[in-house]
Amino acid sequence: MNDRTDFVVPDITTRKNAGLSHDPRDFTLPQPLDRYTAEDHATWAALYRRQSELLPGRACREFMDGLDKLGVDADRVPDFERLNQRLGAATGWRIVAVPGLIPDDVFFEHLANRRFPVTWWLREPHQLDYLQEPDVFHDLFGHVPLLIDPVFADYLQAYGKGGMKAKDLGYLTQLARLYWYTVEFGLIRTAEGMRIYGAGILSSKSESVYCLDSASPNRVGFGLQRLMRTRYRIDTFQKTYFVIDSFQQLFDATAPDFTPIYHQVDAMPTLGAGEVAAEDLVYQTGNREGWADTEDV
Ligand code: PHE
Ligand code: CO
């Protein structure tokens, strides 16, 4: 869930992958199923239980349906190949095991080909609430269920295709902001109320509550250029959540060629993570309580 433009290999990734090797071209490896310990399976079960108790009524219906239709295991780290049978049948996506964060161009190439890279290893028991880099719980539980939604599935592939272009044009920062505020931290308006679809929220117990219930953050309507101009936080809860009306809205808004849009955005001022702009459609202006005064990314 980190900003993939900043590619460093965290210690835990190095430790978990000791003695394993990945394909140097696409960073994939066979999921090392025999490396999961009883403790890992118990940690997965604890994380799964917490989120599955919390998310009904908070996560969007498409996510809850995906969890169910994919048959994501409640009691053990899922076998990727078993999951792929249902995922592939639903939308043609599949998941591939990777050692951890991978370089941007490799990431984009996977998405563009409907492959979602999933970190194979799981956090330690003392990291139930937070870890800095994505693990299998974040990547799989958080991201994969929505891939059975046809529109979201197409959006993520389109993002991958757009990645290379953004890189060549020098606008990876702007594209990464779009990913952050949609795929990782997006909210969606439904007939039943506001719901979560961002994986960074869905895999976090505390943010699953905070994003919808807290008076601190801003909640404002999605706007493509607005998102591309907005810095974000990687060390705290988000200061602003962007709300879409539907996955179709997201797909349609991001379908045009971004080349001219990047240039327009470039000419406009950047916005801080907690700023509310005059033209925003505001669902909530945050009261800013508890906001750390550390720097936005
Ligand atoms: N339409 C975008 C482009 O031309 C590609 C894209 C689609 C990027 C969806 C992000 C999300 O660059
Ligand atoms: Co993520």
Q: What is the pLDDT along the chain (297 residues), one digit of tens a residue?
A: 444 545 677 889 999 999 999 999 999 999 999 999 999 999 999 999 999 999 999 999 999 999 999 999 999 999 999 999 999 999 999 999 999 999 999 999 999 999 999 999 999 999 999 888 999 999 999 999 999 999 999 999 999 999 999 999 999 999 999 999 999 999 999 999 999 999 999 999 999 999 999 999 999 999 999 999 999 988 889 999 999 999 999 999 999 999 999 999 999 999 999 999 999 999 999 999 988 777 787
Alpha carbon nearest to ligand 1 atom 5, residue: 162
DSSP assigned state of 271: B
pLDDT for the residue numbered 262 = 98
Q: Is the dihedral of CA 72, 78, 82, 84 positive or negative?
A: positive
pLDDT for the residue numbered 10 = 81
Question: Nearest ligand to the C-alpha of residue 157?
Answer: 1
CA–CA dist 85, 79 (Å, integer): 11
Tokens of 5: 């433009």
pLDDT for the residue numbered 1 = 43
Query: Under 8 Å CB-to-CB from 113, ≥6 apart: which residues?
Result: 157, 160
Tens digits of residue pLDDT in 244-280 = 999 999 999 999 999 999 999 999 999 999 999 999 9
pTM attached to this predicted model: 0.95
Distance in Å, CA 146 to ligand 1 centroid: 19
Please count the other Cβ atoms lying within 10 Å of the Cβ belonging to residue 174.
Answer: 22
Dihedral, CA atoms, 106, 112, 118, 119, nearest 10 degrees? Answer: 10
Question: Nearest ligand to the C-alpha of residue 198?
Answer: 2
Tokens of 202: 């869905």
Tokens of 11: 């210690």
Catalytic residues: 138, 143, 184, 203
Alpha carbon nearest to ligand 1 atom 9, residue: 159
Atom number, ligand 1, closest to the C-alpha of residue 255: 1
Contact 187, 219 (CB under 8 A): yes
Contact 220, 278 (CB under 8 A): no
Question: Nearest ligand to the C-alpha of residue 134?
Answer: 2
pLDDT for the residue numbered 6 = 55
pLDDT for the residue numbered 205 = 97
Listed residue (196, 161, 199) closest to 180, CA to CA: 199
Q: Which of 182, 251, 254 to mutate to test the pocket of ligand 1 (most atoms within 8 A of CB)?
A: 254
Domain segments of the chain as ranges: 22-284
Distance in Å, CA 165 to ligand 1 centroid: 9
Domain 22-284 belongs in CATH node 1.10.760.10: no
Distance in Å, CA 57 to ligand 1 centroid: 31
Listed residue (97, 181, 180, 101) closest to 144, CA to CA: 97
Establish whether residue 167 lines the binding site of ligand 1, counting it when its CB lies within 6 angstroms of any ligand atom: no
Establish whether residue 162 lines the binding site of ligand 1, counting it when its CB lies within 6 angstroms of any ligand atom: yes
